[in-house]
Structure 1
Amino acid sequence: MLLKLILVLSAFVALSVCQSPELGGSGSLNQYFAYTRAVQNGQLGVQFNMTIESIQETTLNINLTTTIIVHGHQGSAKSSLNPTVKDALLTNEDANAIIVDWSQFSSQSYENAVKAVPSVGTYLGAMIENLVAANVTTLDQVHLVGFDLGAHIVGYAGRTLGGEVARITGLDPSGKSWGPNTPRISKEDAKYVEIIHTDTFGIFPNGIGDPIGHADFYPNGGASQPGCFLYRPCCHKRSWELFAASLAYTHLQGNQCSSMLQMNLNNCRGFLHPMGTNELVKLGSGIYRLNTKSKYPFLLSWL
């Protein structure tokens, strides 16, 4: 009887472990899709895994910037963020684009998705190391772009690589469960870290309001985006819509602010700094505000 009880308990523990998203192996389920201008609109891209041999079978080119895009909670490789940003990038620049799909965990509850973030990001960092080993890119050519929880994933990836990637862009990084004393995305994760805040204030915001990068942009004050009528998901996703517009246009520039108070009062008159783009080296730092209109390409508004 005792032996039977031990066997039952062992099976239960094994089942619980296999189902736990807290395991370090969560990121082993990441999927990667490579695009260049040769494989672009309307196609899924070339799927590859972390092996050097698999990477070398893609059309990735060491002479091009490598931009890696990571979706957020409830996203996938096919969700609107990915085709929109990827197509905007490749239409306007000859570049390598890699979409990371971690939907095995992002499709679960927010709490489970949060638990998977460290492993997903660490595995992404290891994959980038193999990109370098396969001679298809260098860390100085890598731009990591993450939305929502994806912003913290690219933070983990950058940390795994010693903060040596050229650039990280966090698109309205998730705020829930990512307070000041957590391993959230930060300016230590890459040589240049830019944050675009679009849903950060008020009741139950999705994003982080604190400036956490080298340069932090607050379009329209970082909340209540034009045309969204206080609809939270609309304000949240405006971050990647603005980023996509910045890849095609150069008008999205913010004025530097001397403080968050000045930003909130819409009284910033400092140096202009371009928001977004795919530039690997950007020298601006501090807090920036810009005001936009409600529809693509989000022309600047001075009202």
Structure 2
Amino acid sequence: MRAAIVFIVAFAAYSAAGPVIEEQVPEYSRFIQFPDGNEVPHTVDLEEELELEIEEIEGHAANNLYQLFTRLNPDSSQTLVINDADSIHNSNFNPADPTVVIAHGWLSNQETNLNSVIRDAYLEKGDYNIIVLDWSRLAIRNYITAARGVPAVGRGLGQFLRFLHETTGAPYTSMHLVGFSLGAHLVGNAGRELEGAVARVTGLDPAGPLWYTSSDRLNSNDGVYVEAIHTDGGYTVGGLGIGSAIADADFFANGGASQPLCLTNICNHNRAWRYFAATVSYDHLTGRECSNILQLTLNTCRGQSLNMGNADLTKSGSGTYRVNTARRYPY
């Protein structure tokens, strides 16, 4: 009977006309494998106890580190400190240039590969203020604890960006927040702290476990334009990323559940930031809008086109898109 019900619900979702990817909460095992910043798997117990008290978790926003890179210092960071105007004025931060914030995921830090890959793609393209957020003092805790602290850390980032705006005049319309996995929900909360005023928020395979039913997950109110790139979502068995549409525009790369030459969820998951960095450089991956899940799955989407990722601060669009990539860089 349960299988029949699942089939009926799935068929209804596949057959539905109009905007797509109805919310489906997949099942997760209690124990899953989730990668660190070096793509090494770690066993996560989704029923594990918090390692810290709630008050201590929420206080971790004060431990955020903001590392600035520009074309004047592309490899050696300058530390920006909230409520310390001198740290801003004495740095290479230029309010006339766009600002891109990069937020890592679980068990990661400022040295994690995705930071340098995305940073270098931008700095090879033009003049940017690249701010790498290091929230590793909380991200090194167990997954349950790190996930619980994401909203507070994100609000802390939002407060820092407000300070940056008030100190330098850098407009929110020149800010783009980019986060991977847990970092995707983090930058969403940062954008929400600023009442959706930042130009763009991009979630790179936003983390799935514990987030499907959370009101703190990335959503379309977090920026002027909010985009999600899905590479390891699951419709029935949960992937490492969310497998349903949550943003203004949702791009499901190669269907959103598995990627070319990938044999593991970890490989699929990390393709999101690799694809994004490539689009910053080449702006070459174009999606076609889908009317329902069946079109998305069967690669028969024929709706309007919208490019995935890229560095365009004035980008706009909505809907669910399938993007087909090549097997190797630049994809």
- Say if 2:202 is the partner of 1:169: yes
For residue 18 of structure 2, what is the aligned residue in structure 1? none
Structure 1 residue 265: deviation in Å?
1.6
Contact 1:257 1:268 in 2 (8 A): yes
The worse-fitting range, judged by mean Cα deviation, of 57-66 and 78-87 is 57-66
| Correspondent of 1:29 among 63, 66, 71 | 63
SS in 2 for 1:236: helix
1:222-237 maps to which residues of 2 (within 5 A)?
A: 222-229=256-263, 231-237=264-270
Instruction: Specify whether residues 133 and 284 from structure 1 end up closer, same or farther in structure 2 by C-alpha distance, changes over 3 A only.
Output: same
Alignment TM-score, normalising by the size of structure 1: 0.89
Q: Deviations over 1:34-69 (max 9, x none)?
A: 0111111xx231112112221222211111110000
8 A Cα contact 2:114 2:273, kept in partner? yes
> Structure 1: 5+ residue runs without aligned partners?
1-15, 299-303
State the partner residue of 1:71.
Answer: 104
| 1:165 partner amino acid | V
Q: 1:270 aligns with which of 288, 297, 303?
A: 303
> How many residues were matched structurally?
280
Query: Does the alignment pair 1:140 with 2:167?
Result: no
Q: Which residue of 2 aligns with 1:197?
A: 230
Q: Is the 8 A contact 1:21 1:115 kept in 2?
A: no
Match of 2:12 in 1: none
CA contact (8 A) 1:243 1:277 kept: yes
The answer to whether the Cα contact below 8 Å between 1:125 and 1:160 also exists between their aligned partners in 2 is yes
Q: Which amino acid aligns with 2:167?
A: A
Structure 1 residue 53 and structure 2 residue 86: aligned? yes
Residue from 210, 230, 242 that aligns with 1:208: 242
Q: What amino acid maps onto 1:87 in structure 2? A: D
1:174 deviates by 0.5
SS at match of 2:73: coil
SS at match of 1:168: strand
| In 1, Cα distance between equivalents of 2:57 and 2:265 | 31
1:44 aligns with 76
CA distance in 1, matches of 2:53, 2:249: 39
Instruction: Spell out, residue by residue over 1:161-204, the C-alpha distance to the aligned partner (whole angstroms, 9 max, x if none).
Output: 01111110000000111123432110011110000000001634
Higher Cα radius of gyration: 1
Secondary structure in structure 1 of the residue aligned to 2:274: helix
Structure 2 unaligned runs (5+)? Answer: 1-49
Identity of aligned residues (%): 41
Give 2:82's aligned amino acid: M
- Counterpart of 2:128 (choices 68, 75, 95) is 95
Q: Match for 2:76: what amino acid? A: L
Is the Cα–Cα contact under 8 Å of residues 57 and 138 in structure 2 kept in the other structure? no
In the alignment, which residue of structure 1 is the partner of 2:321? 288
SS of the residue aligned with 2:255?
A: helix
Q: Partners of 1:87 and 1:79 in 2: how far apart?
A: 13
Match of 2:34 in 1: none
177-186 or 81-90, larger mean C-alpha shift: 177-186
Q: Structure 1 residue 260: deviation in Å?
A: 2.4
d(CA) in 2 for partners of 1:243, 1:17: 33
* One-letter amino acid matched to 1:221: G
Residues 95 and 213 (structure 1 numbering): CA distance in 2 closer, same or farther, change over 3 Å? same
Runs of 4+ off more than 2 Å: 16-24
Q: Is the 8 A contact 2:80 2:88 kept in 1?
A: yes
Following superposition, the deviation at residue 118 of structure 1 comes to: 1.5
From the superposition, tell whether residues 136 and 60 of structure 1 become closer, same or farther in structure 2 (CA, over 3 Å): farther
CA deviation after TM superposition for structure 1 residue 17, in Å: 11
| Contact kept? 2:204, 2:272, Cα under 8 Å | yes
Tell me the TM-score normalized by structure 2: 0.81
More displaced 10-residue stretch of structure 1: 21-30 or 186-195: 21-30
Letter in 2 for 1:46: Q
